[in-house]
Amino acid sequence: MRGYCGCFAALAFVATFAHASDTAPPQNDADNAWHFSVAPYLWLPSVDGTMHFSVPGGGADASTGPYDYLQNLKFVFMIQGEARKGDWSIFADGIYLDFGRHGSTVNAANGLFGPRETQQNVETSFRGTLVEIGGGYTVMRQSWGYVDAVVGMRYLGVRGTLDATAVSTTSAGVGANRQLDISQVQNIYDGFAGVRGRVSITGDGRWYVPFYLDVGAGTSAFTWQAMTGIGYAMKWGDLSLTYRYLAFYGSGDQLVQTLRFSGPSVNVIFRF
């Protein structure tokens, strides 16, 4: 469905527990003690994509979106976290998303949806769990900020449902209706590598620009993610407003053909 992302809330279950450098500690914490952070957040992406369903005698590609994040959203949960010691860090991000029914467009080949048939009342629904786990190492640290190199694994568990009524016309001109209700599951495991960090924009370092970029592959033919925005550091933690983009591109007969999430995120970062 034209970019189903969005799922990442029990991805964003847990959008990457200590995701995109947003939860990375300020540079004056670069010592040999352990530092931890937990960041509940709210990501409001638009979602679009295409999902491939196997139907009797063929396949059907259901496209939908882009949809506003709050449209048809039934449940969402998002959290990030990180542990850091000196230049080394480990992080995680979790999101779970449950979208209700969306109107969709179906392109089908053969089978139940043949060339003589017209699809009407097509709806799709989507549930997804996104989990990211990774590690980082600080490769540059200056008065203006720092840069980490990161590697990790991204998991996306997807359940897609297709509900449609096919209306066909026989050679005798008589209409025949067929009801289709299919639910399919795909587990996606992708490795990724990238960079993250922050750049101070004030002399005291309280105002800063966080950034994150990764690319990867695995079950997906290609996946990538990017984030940037603005943050404000305080003694107990940080507040930040960022823009995040996440995309998956499948191949062959995989359920997820394309899935894209993009939108603003409000983050509260607690450090201890």
Tokens found for residue 137: 């190492």
Instruction: Supply the range of the domain harboring residue 265.
Output: 2-98+129-155+188-271
In a domain, 199, yes or no: yes
44 or 220, higher pLDDT: 220
pLDDT tier, 114 (very low <50, low <70, confident <90, very high otherwise): low
| Dihedral over alpha carbons 224, 228, 234, 239 (to 10 degrees) | -80
> Of 109, 50, 59, 58, which Cα lies nearest the Cα of 257?
50
Cα–Cα distance measured from residue 58 to residue 253, given in angstroms and rounded to the nearest whole number: 11
In a domain, 182, yes or no: no
In a domain, 26, yes or no: yes
pLDDT at 111 over 60: no
**Domains in the chain, number:** 1
pLDDT at 4 over 50: no
Q: How far is CA 105 from CA 99, 118, 182, 233, in A?
A: 17, 11, 15, 45
In a domain, 195, yes or no: yes
CATH number at residue 73: 2.40.128.90
Residue-level length of the chain: 272
In a domain, 21, yes or no: yes
200-218, pLDDT tens digit by residue?
999 898 999 999 999 999 9
Task: Assess contact for 177 and 165: CB atoms under 8 A.
Answer: yes
101-110, pLDDT tens digit by residue?
666 666 655 5
pLDDT tier, 49 (very low <50, low <70, confident <90, very high otherwise): confident
Task: Assess contact for 99 and 72: CB atoms under 8 A.
Answer: yes
